[in-house]
């Protein structure tokens, strides 16, 4: 087993040099380190517990991060230009060009088939929206896939096409996942909660028993997999054999409402554009699932973005005594803030979405954005907050999440409702799964070239991670 003594390390916010002894996968008393321990000098770098992303769709992220990035497009014409530029850099091949991440809620021009046909008359072009609820295709893609029309496809048509794209390149998947895992380790990630919609427990078991040990995985599942988990004799938190303790059974995920950009997040007050959004599970159905999770020993992760969906989710927790998280909690009524702590419900939030959703929120949730992404409101009401990316909706990068929670602006504008910010220390603490560097804690540690507690935001966003260790083993090394 590993036995490492990290020397010349500093703690965030401190100049005192310290040592960290990692033995048999846990942090141990450095004064007891034997002379035989492998000594590694960190040369004055800062150490802290490794980072967790508490909400990831990892397979989707691994696939999407290889695609053409359209997130900077501020108009349909601009997006078509990005496509044209990429086509100039590529050989003429018959495979479709796939792009990802356009956000058209604030565009003034329409994403039309003509725009894409003009830059790519023959090669199929398929562009996925940032929230994956829409796909914009040219005429060549329409005929290649037998689609109802060119231009923008939504919801069912969009999901159907995405599934066909995923099926076309199945052999690639594990390679893409390995690349994305190495990149995550290089960012200091030591664990993820994977909420992939595809059946991911089998995939992680296969990959982890074949050597992929880049980080810990809590593998969540959806209601249609509930019986399968029970048939396998599994309960929440169980360790999957032969994965060296790295793979555990995660929460039951229940999606109870939609999203902001599609105006389907379920709200108490109507949208500026009309309607309250949609509940995709009735409160009774959610309560029934939570009761079943309690009875069978699983935690739950309840997706609720709009404030009315949050109210219903809290009601279901209260009725059933379920344990777990509300995912997103993007809009919360003041009278619901204290219920998180009272019910022991964790708020699992994705700060980077506030950078993306700021303008859309002001437009379609007018007069209530002061309680949008209410980090401080929840913190002051005693709630436990954990951070994540919801990759591929935002990039899997914990430093961006920490920066967004602290500094609520992605550009030169003033922070958006800065009174709802977390402090840097709170944002860091919300990103380490409650871990510390005390003796007995898992030996999941990162060494950093900057002091994460005091460095400026721009340095935080590009945090140079010198080393990552999981269970006392190096998963990333750049010293
Ligand atoms: Zn998600």
pLDDT of residue 362: 93
Burial 128-148 (b: 16+ CB within 10 A, else e): bbbbbbbbbbbbbbbebbebe
pLDDT at 224 > cutoff 90: yes
Q: How far apart are CA 327 and CA 181, in angstroms?
A: 23
Tokens of 227: 């019986």
Q: How far is the CA of 56 from the centre of ligand 1 (A)?
A: 6
pLDDT at 120 > cutoff 70: yes
pLDDT at 253 > cutoff 90: yes
Q: How far is the CA of 474 from the centre of ligand 1 (A)?
A: 29
Q: How far is the CA of 54 from the centre of ligand 1 (A)?
A: 10
Report whether 358 contacts 404 (CB < 8 A): no
**pLDDT tens track for 151-174:** 999 888 998 998 898 788 666 788
Q: How far is the CA of 57 from the centre of ligand 1 (A)?
A: 6
Percent helix, strand and coil across the chain, each rounded to 5?
35, 25, 40
Q: How far is the CA of 350 from the centre of ligand 1 (A)?
A: 10
The mean pLDDT of 76-96, rounded to a whole number, is 91
Q: How far is the CA of 444 from the centre of ligand 1 (A)?
A: 25
Q: How far is the CA of 327 from the centre of ligand 1 (A)?
A: 8
| Third-level CATH fold of 66-167 | Diaminopimelate Epimerase; Chain A, domain 1 (3.10.310)
Task: Give the range among 177-181, 304-308, 408-412 with minimum mean pLDDT.
Answer: 408-412
The mean pLDDT of 77-96, rounded to a whole number, is 91
Nearest to 446 by CA among 47, 2, 26: 47
Q: How far is the CA of 260 from the centre of ligand 1 (A)?
A: 13
pLDDT of residue 216: 98
Q: How far is the CA of 397 from the centre of ligand 1 (A)?
A: 15
The overall average pLDDT reported for the chain is 94
DSSP 222: -
Q: How far apart are CA 86 and CA 53, in angstroms?
A: 31
Q: How far is the CA of 13 from the centre of ligand 1 (A)?
A: 33
Q: How far is the CA of 416 from the centre of ligand 1 (A)?
A: 23
Q: How far is the CA of 223 from the centre of ligand 1 (A)?
A: 15
Q: How far is the CA of 431 from the centre of ligand 1 (A)?
A: 17
pLDDT of residue 106: 82
pLDDT of residue 425: 98
163 by Cβ neighbours in 10 Å (0-12 / 13-18 / 19+) ranks as exposed
Q: How far is the CA of 329 from the centre of ligand 1 (A)?
A: 12
Report whether 20 contacts 6 (CB < 8 A): yes
DSSP SS3 for 92: coil
User: Domain residue spans in the chain?
Assistant: 1-50+436-479, 51-59+177-435, 66-167
Burial 441-458 (b: 16+ CB within 10 A, else e): bbbbbbbbbbbbbebeee
Backbone dihedral angles phi then psi of residue 463, each to the nearest 5 degrees = -50, 120
Q: How far is the CA of 219 from the centre of ligand 1 (A)?
A: 13
pLDDT of residue 314: 98
Q: How far is the CA of 390 from the centre of ligand 1 (A)?
A: 5
Q: How far is the CA of 218 from the centre of ligand 1 (A)?
A: 14
CA angle centred on 442, ends 440 and 443, rounded to 5°: 105
Q: How far is the CA of 285 from the centre of ligand 1 (A)?
A: 20
pTM of the predicted protein model:
0.90
Q: Which spans in 7-74 are helix H?
A: 58-64
CATH class, domain 51-59+177-435, is alpha beta
The mean pLDDT of 167-183, rounded to a whole number, is 85
Q: What would be the CATH architecture of the domain defined by 1-50+436-479?
A: Roll (2.30)
Q: How far apart are CA 412 and CA 352, in angstroms?
A: 16
Q: How far is the CA of 60 from the centre of ligand 1 (A)?
A: 10
**Beta strand pairing status for 247-255 and 216-221?**
parallel
Q: How far is the CA of 178 from the centre of ligand 1 (A)?
A: 21
Q: How far is the CA of 447 from the centre of ligand 1 (A)?
A: 29
Q: How far is the CA of 130 from the centre of ligand 1 (A)?
A: 12
Fold equal for 1-50+436-479 and 51-59+177-435: no
């Amino acid at each position: 087993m590993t036995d490492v003594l990290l020397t010349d390390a500093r703690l965030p916010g401190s100049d005192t040099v310290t040592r960290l002894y990692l033995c048999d996968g846990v942090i141990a008393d450095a004064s007891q380190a034997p002379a035989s321990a492998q000594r590694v000098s960190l040369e004055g770098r800062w150490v802290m517990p490794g980072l967790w992303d508490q909400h990831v769709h990892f397979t989707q992220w691994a696939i999407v991060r290889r695609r053409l990035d359209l997130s900077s497009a501020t108009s349909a014409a601009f997006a078509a230009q990005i496509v044209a530029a990429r086509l100039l850099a590529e050989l003429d091949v018959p495979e479709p060009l796939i792009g990802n991440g356009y956000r058209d809620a604030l565009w003034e021009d329409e994403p039309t088939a003509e725009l894409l046909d003009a830059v790519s008359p023959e090669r199929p072009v398929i562009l996925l929206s940032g929230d994956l609820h829409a796909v914009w295709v040219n005429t060549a893609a329409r005929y290649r896939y037998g689609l109802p029309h060119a231009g923008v496809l939504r919801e069912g048509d969009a999901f159907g096409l995405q599934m066909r794209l995923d099926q076309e390149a199945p052999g690639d998947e594990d390679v893409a996942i390995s690349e994305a895992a190495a990149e995550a380790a290089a960012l200091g990630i030591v664990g993820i909660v994977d909420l992939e919609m595809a059946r991911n427990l089998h995939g992680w078991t296969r990959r982890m028993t074949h050597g992929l040990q880049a980080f810990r995985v809590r593998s969540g599942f959806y209601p249609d997999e509930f019986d399968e988990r029970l048939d396998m004799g599994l309960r929440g938190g169980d360790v999957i054999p032969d994965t060296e303790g790295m793979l555990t059974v995660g929460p039951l995920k229940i999606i109870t409402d939609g999203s902001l950009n599609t105006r389907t997040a379920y709200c108490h007050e109507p949208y500026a554009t009309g309607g309250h959004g949609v509940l995709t599970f009735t409160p009774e159905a959610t309560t029934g699932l939570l009761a079943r999770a309690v009875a069978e020993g699983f935690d739950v992760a309840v997706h609720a973005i709009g404030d009315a969906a949050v109210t219903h989710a809290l009601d279901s927790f209260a009725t059933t005594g379920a344990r777990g998280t509300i995912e997103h909690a993007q809009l919360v009524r003041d009278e619901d803030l204290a219920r998180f702590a009272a019910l022991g419900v964790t708020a699992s939030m994705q700060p980077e979405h506030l950078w993306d959703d700021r303008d859309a929120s002001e437009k379609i949730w007018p007069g209530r954005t002061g309680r949008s992404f209410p980090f401080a409101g929840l913190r002051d009401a005693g709630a436990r907050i954990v951070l994540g990316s919801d990759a591929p909706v935002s990039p899997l990068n914990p430093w961006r999440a920490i920066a967004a929670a602290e500094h609520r602006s992605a550009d030169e504008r003033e922070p958006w409702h800065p009174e709802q910010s977390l402090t840097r220390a709170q944002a860091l603490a919300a990103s380490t799964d409650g871990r510390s560097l005390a003796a007995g804690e898992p030996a999941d540690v990162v060494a950093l070239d900057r002091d994460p507690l005091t460095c400026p935001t721009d340095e935080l966003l590009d945090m140079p991670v010198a080393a990552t260790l999981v269970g006392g083993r190096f998963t990333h090394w750049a010293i």
